[in-house]
Homo-oligomer: A and B are copies of this chain.
Amino acid sequence: MGAPVPVGLLSAAPSAIAAEPAPSEVVGVDLGDRSYPIYIGAGLLDRGDLIARHVPGRRVLVVTNTTVAPLYLDRCVKALSAEGNLQVDSVVLPDGEEYKTIEVVQQIWDKAMECRLNRQSTFVALGGGVIGDMTGFAAASFLRGVHFLQIPTTVMAQVDSSVGGKTGVNHPLGKNMIGAFYQPTCVLIDTETLDTLPDRELASGVSEIVKYGLIRDAALFHWLEDNMEKLMARDQQALTYAIQRSCINKAEVVAQDELEGGVRATLNLGHTFGHAIETGQGYGVWLHGEAVSSGMVMAAHMSHKLGWVDASLPQRVRELLLRANLPVDAPPSMTPDQFRTIMAVDKKVQDGKLRLVLLKGKLGGCVVTGDFDGSKLTETLDEFCHR
């Protein structure tokens, strides 16, 4: 690992790490007294010292799932246990979006109660977005709030869900309906954990990286157009760059709007269409990033119909996502009515009016608005559902 390269919003890396062997990259998330660092680099999972620095008490509960546990749990527990004073317990949950429920969160609380964890304890999320979201909500609610640390092991979790403090579970009638805004004390990204990630999961995460290019980072979009094959081949340097750049984008947006009152909603580009796809088909048929991929093409297409972007943009979006082996059409089974029904209960609905993230102006520009010609949405749904 090279010298520390502080990037992002903090003008320097946190001073506590100055005297220690440093990870490759540090991105700061600037949220006042809830600020925290994101460490990015190869092999960080073995850096128990780095993790322990962000564990205030003596008790740790590592939360993971049946897929990740055989791969990384022992290493994580060993790295932490090597740090003198820490007592480490763990709980292994079933793997899959269908287990992102309040009942499974209860398993975390049960384990924490059995271990008699106190208010100074830390919950560590080791896994993908589902594990991170559930562990974060469990931490937010246990004894009205204990410490929380993220070790995301999927691209999706590394570039999106682990940054920004959104935690929660699904309700039978909707995704992510139950939860809390709750910030971790630190996010630790070991890029080597991506070696074991299935291809579809890799592509799903790349979908969110493309999103940052579209909503606010034209240079990243250009870089992706030049380097998509390297990224899909898991070139470590390309991965590190794309993840770091994504974390910087997300951190900047979150720092401006922690509780999603304004600009943070732009991070939902493609997500309203995408949620409809996930809900319509049943969770898990398409991965989140796959649904977002189709959703972004739909949003880009509709933006062009509204006359807000050039005809070339939806085409470039479609081509780039296809190179990542991502879907760019609605699932054949879904109807426009199904989309409309599900989109009507979206969290962004205000006073009965659906608001969408749409592209506008030059590449990298977007708006969140309910002020659009509804017939263009109808046309878009019709066209994508009958391709």
Task: Using CB atoms and an 8 Å cutoff, list the residues of chain A in contact with chain B.
Answer: 57-58, 102, 106, 109-110, 113-114, 116, 118-120, 137, 140-145, 166, 168, 171-174, 177-181, 259, 344-345, 347, 349-351
A180 touches B144 (CB 8 A): yes
Identify whether the interface residues of A are mostly helix, strand, loop, or mixed. mixed
Given A113-B173, A114-B173, check contact A145 B180 (CB 8 Å): yes
In the complex, which residues of chain B have a beta carbon less than 8 angstroms from the beta carbon of A143?
177, 347
Instruction: Tell me which of B102, B144, B168 contacts A102 (CB under 8 A).
Output: B102
Q: Quick one: copies of this chain in the complex?
A: 2
For the complex, what is the distance from the CA of A120 to the CA of B141, rounded to whole Å? Answer: 22
In the complex, which residues of chain B have a beta carbon less than 8 angstroms from the beta carbon of A174?
113
B178 touches A116 (CB 8 A): no
In the complex, which residues of chain B have a beta carbon less than 8 angstroms from the beta carbon of A102?
102, 106
Q: Which residue of B lies closest to A345 (CB)?
A: B116
For the complex, what is the distance from the CA of A119 to the CA of B350, rounded to whole Å? Answer: 8
B144 touches A168 (CB 8 A): yes
A175 to chain B, nearest CB (A): 11
A349 touches B166 (CB 8 A): no
For the complex, what is the distance from the CA of A123 to the CA of B180, rounded to whole Å? Answer: 16
B178 touches A141 (CB 8 A): yes
A100 to chain B, nearest CB (A): 14
Instruction: Tell me which of B110, B113, B166 contacts A144 (CB under 8 A).
Output: B166
In the complex, which residues of chain B have a beta carbon less than 8 angstroms from the beta carbon of A109?
171, 177-178
Given A58-B351, A113-B171, check contact A180 B118 (CB 8 Å): no
**28 contacting pairs across A/B (C-beta < 8 A):** A58-B351, A102-B106, A109-B171, A109-B177, A110-B171, A113-B171, A113-B173, A113-B174, A113-B177, A116-B344, A118-B349, A118-B350, A120-B350, A120-B351, A137-B141, A140-B180, A141-B178, A141-B180, A142-B177, A143-B347, A144-B166, A144-B168, A144-B179, A144-B180, A144-B181, A145-B180, A145-B259, A180-B180
For the complex, what is the distance from the CA of A172 to the CA of B177, rounded to whole Å? Answer: 25
Given A102-B106, A109-B171, check contact A118 B347 (CB 8 Å): yes
Q: Which residue of B lies closest to A181 (CB)?
A: B144
A80 to chain B, nearest CB (A): 18
* Residue among A141, A259, A344 with max Cβ neighbours from chain B (10 Å): A141
Of all A-B residue pairs in the complex, the 6 with the closest CB atoms, nearest first, are A113-B173, A144-B179, A141-B178, A116-B345, A113-B171, A144-B181
For the complex, what is the distance from the CA of A120 to the CA of B345, rounded to whole Å? Answer: 13
New contact pairs (16) apart from A109-B177, A118-B350, CB-CB < 8 Å = A57-B351, A102-B102, A109-B171, A110-B171, A113-B172, A113-B173, A113-B177, A118-B347, A118-B349, A140-B180, A141-B168, A144-B166, A144-B179, A145-B180, A145-B181, A180-B180
